[in-house]
Amino acid sequence: MGDIRRRTVVALGVTSLVAPLTLALGATPAQAASCTTTAGPYQKQVEKFLGRPVDGKQSSADCKAIRAFQTKHGITPNIGYAGPVTWGVMNLMNKQKAVGKNPNKSGKCPVNKGRIACVDLTLQLSWIQDGKKLVFGPVPVRTGRDGYETRTGLKKIYWRNIDHVSTIYDVPMPYSQFFDGGQAFHSAGVSMWNPPGSHGCVNMTKTDAKKYWSLLKNGDDVYVYGRKPGT
């Protein structure tokens, strides 16, 4: 939870491809400071996602676009390499977009509980519904990384603290709504697609965390299901 400071150099990824990123350049992430000229294994997919000419060849413009995406979402090393971590983030974004306004199409989040906050770990999405009515969302979230997984099951919000600070990691957790021990909804100052994930909390943007704060209260149900890719 509250994972803002501690990040691994090579992310575990948001797809099942969790192997460390191997660079043909042979440079370590700490040494890498400029764009790579090497095409990555997901070059065409990444080019298509970014609206670049899809030729599978790395150009300086390709690298600049890829690097900007990596920098924005905290993907390291940010040298413009179209590797599995970068494509994993993009692929997840595509899947999230495809959900549209029907996040509970599978019916996995209970519709007989009244107002409930749903968390789909597989798609890294959350929303609030009331029966079959979508109240808010879906919105992208950032859940627990490998070894710190957000626990699944039906839970209830039991404590709320708008200005909470983590006693474990000494980092701010604004708009915290705890539903399972130390695991909570709260805002985080990183991209929701920043790998590898949180220390168990459901990270949200400040805007979404504030909305959840206004819509939920102590005693409201939370249902977490699925499995975060890479865990």
Q: Which fold has domain 108-225?
A: L,D-transpeptidase catalytic domain-like (2.40.440)
DSSP for 9-65?
Answer: SS---SSS--SPP--TT---TTT--S---PPPTTHHHHHHHTT---SS---HHHHHH
Q: Which residues are catalytic?
A: 186, 201
For the chain, domain boundaries: 42-97, 108-225
Mean pLDDT is lowest, of 19-23, 65-69, 84-88, 111-115, for 19-23
Q: How far is residue 109's CA from residue 124's CA, in Å, rounded to a whole number?
A: 14
| Average pLDDT value for residue range 79-83 | 98
Q: 87: buried, middle or exposed (CB in 10 Å: 19+, 13-18, 0-12)? A: buried
This prediction's pTM: 0.83
SS3 1: coil
Residue 208: pLDDT band by 50, 70, 90 thresholds? very high
| pLDDT tens digits, one per residue of 166-185 | 787 778 889 999 999 999 99
